[in-house]
Homo-oligomer: A and B are copies of this chain.
């Protein structure tokens, strides 16, 4: 019987190669890698520019069904699939998001894959990594400081201090900062007003960095940020208080993709990490586009299930960056399918083919949704030891009925060797020429109709409701020239509906748009359908209490 090892033990035992060797696999000369230690590097802007018009590799999206709270293993499958593709002789690389620092101190856990399908060095990736999120925090908060400073020194732009919409950020779970009153203490400290902090991944600067094509585009988008409004309701932009240049300077290194490696020494870009609710939840465009010039297969993922993650990947990232995905993998687990079939969390380990088959309706809808974007699909069954043969067979049968292969994957336990069958199928699909990507709606469609298109076609809702204030706001933005933007849906990840307990494939539900927000720099309109928490808190017994360095200098308690 095999010895059980934790993720961190596996990661520590990794036989990492020097990052220059990993870069060489991609044809990146050592002098064009900016090293951060011996196992991490940024790719130089000069090298990226030099890639010019090279042909692109195939882009593969890994997405998932509606998950259990533990997640379905999208990152693990993304990493494993690249190892599998390389094992069958393909030149493939990973493109995933950077994890956020703050949540590591709340609940134990990292975000660099798991088991034998991880990117390393996982401790660094989960902590400060190459400093990208710190740079984003600095750039965001510089803008915040410049806003209050502008008001303090005479307010030439006439900013209505009651209508400053730009908050501050920290990469920390800190509920005490959600709502504050700042500028107290007398005239030297400015005009008191209400404000607050979000977590750094929720910053519009994060979304902008992930969508910007290059530094010039980054600067333009930063300038486009709306920081608040004047008394006449006209928007004030970051450009109006001359913040865009300095913010760009703070972000110039953060814009460069970070190269690391999988446990099997295959290349991985880990870059950018926008929230998957109020932002689009995908790694950076610059990393993905660079990867497509360097590898024949680029495997990437998008946050949450396919109803949120894949839809935003297609309608925001692919649309805006001109990407053409060649295939999609939908990750399912027997456990999550049973949960979608009505099984309670406690009973997920018990065989229940009937509930599983019921839950497959959830999978079926995700398959149909992804195909609607013109992208061919394969299902990856991320194997758990508790899965029974009958359950696995039922998933395969269901998928076959939809005309899709469902392939059992054992990358968590076996690394690339456990996922070769999926790798072959993905390579075939990508080569089949079946893909004909098209977004769900045209740019020209009015904003409310875009929301309705997503709700009806992807969520199968009967109706979208919204107060007059929300509809008026959308109309105003259209009048101001923002009507061409895509919409970024903020909805629970646990259901197609806005009710997290409504599993499976609900029909005819109502999607209520509570609030809309304009991310003018990132370039989308956020439609909020429930409570969205942009600053998490720590639990009663935070992981931080158990985290420390042991005598060997290793980190304990973090993962």
Q: Which residues from chain A sit less than 8 Å from chain B, CB to CB?
A: 31, 34-38, 45, 101, 105, 127-128, 131, 134-135, 137-138, 141-142, 144-146, 148-149, 152-154, 168, 170-185, 188-190, 194-196, 215, 219, 241-246, 248-250, 252-253, 537-538, 540, 542-549, 553, 555, 557-558
Contacts and interface: CB of A to CB of B under 8 A. Distances in A.
A148 B131 contact: no
A38 to B, nearest CB: 7
A367 to B, nearest CB: 38
Contacts of A540: 153-154
B174 A141 contact: yes
A170 B185 CA distance: 18
B174 A542 contact: no
Given A134-B134, A553-B45, A142 B172 contact: yes
Given A152-B537, A179-B183, A243-B544, 14 more contacts: A34-B38, A35-B37, A131-B134, A138-B172, A144-B176, A145-B173, A149-B175, A176-B183, A242-B544, A243-B545, A244-B548, A245-B545, A248-B549, A252-B553
Most buried by B among A127, A145, A182, A184: A145
Contact of A545 (B188, B242, B557): B242
A242 B184 CA distance: 31
A106 to B, nearest CB: 9
A249 B127 contact: yes
Given A35-B35, A128-B131, A548-B246, A180 B178 contact: no
A152 B189 CA distance: 28
A243 B179 CA distance: 24
B245 A547 contact: yes
28 contacts: A34-B37, A35-B35, A35-B37, A45-B553, A105-B145, A105-B246, A127-B249, A128-B134, A141-B170, A144-B176, A146-B538, A146-B544, A149-B175, A149-B538, A152-B537, A176-B183, A176-B189, A176-B195, A177-B182, A179-B183, A215-B553, A242-B545, A242-B546, A244-B548, A245-B544, A245-B557, A246-B545, A252-B553
A220 B84 CA distance: 46
A180 B179 contact: no
Contacts of A176: 144-145, 148, 152, 182-183, 189-190, 195
Nearest to A244: B548
A178 to B, nearest CB: 5
B183 A184 contact: no
Nearest to A248: B549
A405 to B, nearest CB: 44
Contact of A145 (B174, B183, B558): B174
